[in-house]
Amino acid sequence: MGQPLLEGASVKATIVANGRHKKVTIFKMRRRKHYQKHQGHRQNYTEIRIDGISA
């Protein structure tokens, strides 16, 4: 991914919060065809805090 790659590099992080985002509403419709579709989705997330990067 990055150039140059570092051998033995590490990142220390702390988990701050876990949860779910707001609901995303998906609505599909075809006009004049009497077709409507409703879907919903909530994505899980983990919030982290980077404490240190050592190389």
Give CA–CA dist 16/50, Å, rounded.
Answer: 10
Domain coverage including residue 15: 10-54
24-47 per-position pLDDT tens digit:
999 999 999 999 999 999 999 999
In this structure, is residue 17 part of a structural domain? yes
pLDDT of residue 3: 76
Q: How confident is the model at residue 2 (pLDDT cuts 50, 70, 90)?
A: low
Query: 35 forms bridges with which residues in the sheet?
Result: 30
- Going from the C-alpha of 7 to that of each of 10, 25, 55, the distances in angstroms are 9, 44, 8
In this structure, is residue 50 part of a structural domain? yes
In this structure, is residue 34 part of a structural domain? yes
- Among residues 8, 38, 6, 33, the alpha carbon closest in space to that of 23 is found at 38
CA angle 10, 53, 12 (to 5 degrees): 65
Query: How many domains does the structure of the chain reveal?
Result: 1
